[in-house]
């Protein structure tokens, strides 16, 4: 009933494509948060997402669903899950998808609210299953209940299952809170998807920070293991972890027999103003691809007249080079690059615009190769009224994103600084823009900064400025679908 109603609502209210980003996943109408169930099944890539169709703010969670062959052209599919059972009536929260025995299995958190002993509202979170054929899904009920948790672990915060299979055994990790209210990732194992035994605390926030650790992912990566999670309320350290709600990762060694993960230091997955709840999938061609929610829980500035709210990042290919995580836009993006314009050894002093270098749906690379300057600024989405600025301070080795003039009506947090390093005297910045967003990849993917903007599309200028003299190579493509 809820599902049919939601599907009818969406078909009658879908926002026209012309008003939306071109190749980023957005909801057809309404609110979107976390990516869910990112997976390959039946020859397509599937992405589900936290979805509230009826309003542009968070509400009872459904699972929206899109599919694609190339992770850039996405097709809306029927909504996969609606909150309509006794065990998930207040929301179908985040989770995972995998293929087993030819079916597409979804694991998610069923949320139920009730009144506690002293009259306060309490929430119970349990893990649930649904199976489907890539288009429609049938719920199979609860598979892992809060009652199965060791004493002292929270039942209100126990969510976002990620499941994988290894040598005939299934493993499930989920975010939770421990006795001291700290965040932790719990590991379970099972021979069947419906029967789970608790194994261990795979990682926790003690000494690192952040309350609840949400949306975990865990996988072998470049000879090590990588754990991704999204801590709430993480305290900033120097130039790291400034979003509060922050997606981080750890590289480490995993002892499979003891179910122990020896993790290294936490690191940021992204340095922009909008990035959270990232998850990955392993594609059949060998790539490990990550996608995140390009928004921040604490920084919502959607224009009031907009009927949709929220978008995903570009899917990114992950690779480990030595100890450095490399993230690059999926290579499929190159197929859609047209109208190349490039400048070699262009000298920038004061302010300069270059013929053919403009646009809001573009792939632009700026490589600063030398010169004599302290500050170099690239303004994108620029006109007389608006601009989104990226300023490199060569002395401090800091790169600042500034979207104070990117269409916001309120003066909320709009700046973010990241530490960057030149490589043999060069700094390379690749900007992928899609109408309402800028994703900047530094030095071939060593760092990424994702930020949403909401300026009118006529603000499509690009201006370079410098307090001395800089030499740059610039290449711009339009992205055309």
Contacting residues toward ligand FRU, per CB under 6 A: 33-34, 50, 61, 93-94, 109, 159-160, 214-215, 276-277
Listed residue (475, 208, 167) closest to 337, CA to CA = 475
For ligand FRU, which is the closer residue by CB, 92 or 399? 92
Output the smallest distance, CB 274 to ligand FRU, in A.
13
The yes-or-no answer on residue 411 being catalytic is: no
The closest residue (CB) to ligand FRU is: 93
Output the smallest distance, CB 109 to ligand FRU, in A.
6
Which two three-digit tokens encode residue 460? 């499509």
**Distance (Å, rounded) from C-alpha 31 to C-alpha 91?**
14
> Please, are residues 426 and 369 in contact by the beta-carbon 8 Å criterion?
yes
Output the smallest distance, CB 288 to ligand FRU, in A.
21
Alpha carbon distances (Å) from 90 to 205, 224, 440, 441: 28, 38, 37, 38
CA angle 21, 22, 24 (to 5 degrees): 70
For ligand FRU, which is the closer residue by CB, 132 or 292? 292
Contacts of 365 (CB under 8 A, 6+ apart): 428, 429, 430, 431, 473, 474, 475, 476
**Distance (Å, rounded) from C-alpha 72 to C-alpha 235?**
34
The residue written with tokens 């040598």 in the block is 167
Rg (CA), the chain: 22
For ligand FRU, which is the closer residue by CB, 277 or 289? 277
Output the smallest distance, CB 134 to ligand FRU, in A.
23
For ligand FRU, which is the closer residue by CB, 310 or 407? 310
Number of Cα atoms under 13 Å in the Cβ half of residue 422 = 13
CA angle 298, 301, 307 (to 5 degrees): 120
Output the smallest distance, CB 85 to ligand FRU, in A.
17
Per the rule left: phi > 0, alpha: psi between -120 and 50, beta: everything else, 407 is left
Output the smallest distance, CB 52 to ligand FRU, in A.
9
Output the smallest distance, CB 108 to ligand FRU, in A.
8
For ligand FRU, which is the closer residue by CB, 26 or 94? 94
State the CB neighbour count (10 A cutoff) for residue 135: 13
For ligand FRU, which is the closer residue by CB, 299 or 353? 299
Sheet bearing 276-282, strands edge to edge? 276-282, 288-293, 316-321, 324-329
For ligand FRU, which is the closer residue by CB, 48 or 392? 48
DSSP three-state, residue 68: strand
Output the smallest distance, CB 255 to ligand FRU, in A.
27
For ligand FRU, which is the closer residue by CB, 80 or 472? 80
> Please, are residues 60 and 28 in contact by the beta-carbon 8 Å criterion?
no
The residue written with tokens 């306060």 in the block is 120
**Distance (Å, rounded) from C-alpha 476 to C-alpha 24?**
19
Strands of 205-271, DSSP E: 213-221, 224-231, 248-255, 260-263, 267-268
Listed residue (274, 312, 315) closest to 295, CA to CA = 274
> Please, are residues 366 and 431 in contact by the beta-carbon 8 Å criterion?
yes
User: Which of these is catalytic: 17, 34, 402, 411?
Assistant: 34
Active-site residue set = 34
């Amino acid at each position: 009933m809820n599902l049919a109603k939601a599907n009818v609502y969406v078909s009658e209210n879908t926002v026209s494509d012309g008003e939306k980003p071109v190749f980023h996943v957005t909801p057809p109408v309404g609110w979107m948060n976390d990516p869910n169930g990112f997976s390959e099944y039946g020859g397509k890539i599937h992405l589900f997402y936290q979805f509230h169709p009826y309003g542009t703010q968070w509400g009872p969670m459904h699972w929206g669903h899109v599919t694609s062959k190339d992770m850039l052209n996405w097709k809306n599919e029927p909504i996969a899950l609606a909150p309509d059972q006794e065990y998930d009536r207040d929301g179908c929260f985040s989770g995972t998808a995998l293929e087993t025995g030819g079916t597409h299995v979804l694991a998610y958190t069923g949320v139920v609210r009730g009144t506690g002993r002293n009259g306060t509202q309490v929430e119970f979170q349990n893990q649930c299953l649904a199976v489907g054929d890539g288009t429609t899904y049938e719920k199979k009920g609860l598979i892992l209940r809060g009652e199965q948790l060791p004493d002292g672990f929270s039942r209100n915060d126990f969510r976002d299952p990620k499941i994988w299979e290894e040598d005939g055994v299934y493993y499930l990790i989920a975010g939770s809170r421990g006795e001291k209210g700290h965040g932790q990732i719990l590991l379970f194992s099972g021979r069947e998807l419906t029967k789970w035994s608790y194994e261990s605390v795979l990682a926790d926030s003690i000494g690192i920070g952040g309350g609840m650790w949400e949306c975990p992912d865990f996988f072998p990566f470049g000879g090590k293991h990588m754990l991704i999670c999204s801590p709430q309320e993480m305290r900033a350290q120097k130039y790291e972890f400034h979003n509060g709600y922050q997606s981080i990762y750890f590289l480490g060694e995993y002892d499979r027999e003891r179910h122990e993960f020896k993790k290294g230091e936490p690191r940021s997955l992204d340095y922009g103003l909008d990035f959270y709840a990232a998850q990955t999938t392993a594609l059949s061609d060998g790539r490990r691809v990550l996608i995140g929610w390009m928004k921040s829980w604490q920084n919502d500035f959607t224009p009031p007249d907009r009927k949709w709210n929220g978008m995903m990042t570009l899917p990114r290919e992950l690779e480990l080079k030595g100890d450095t995580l490399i993230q690059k836009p999926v290579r499929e993006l190159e197929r859609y690059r047209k109208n190349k314009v490039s400048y070699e050894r262009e000298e920038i002093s004061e302010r300069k615009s270059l013929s053919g270098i403009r646009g809001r749906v573009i792939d632009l690379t700026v490589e600063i190769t030398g010169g004599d300057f302290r500050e170099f600024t690239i303004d994108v989405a620029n006109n007389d009224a608006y601009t989104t600025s990226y300023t490199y301070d060569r002395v401090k080795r800091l790169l600042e994103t500034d979207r104070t003039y990117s269409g916001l009506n309120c003066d909320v947090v709009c700046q973010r600084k990241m530490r960057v390093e030149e490589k043999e005297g060069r700094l390379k910045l690749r900007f992928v823009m899609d109408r309402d967003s800028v994703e900047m990849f530094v030095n071939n993917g060593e760092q990424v900064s994702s930020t949403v903007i909401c300026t009118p599309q006529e603000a499509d200028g690009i201006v370079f400025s410098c307090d001395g003299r800089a030499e740059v190579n610039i290449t711009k493509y339009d992205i055309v679908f």
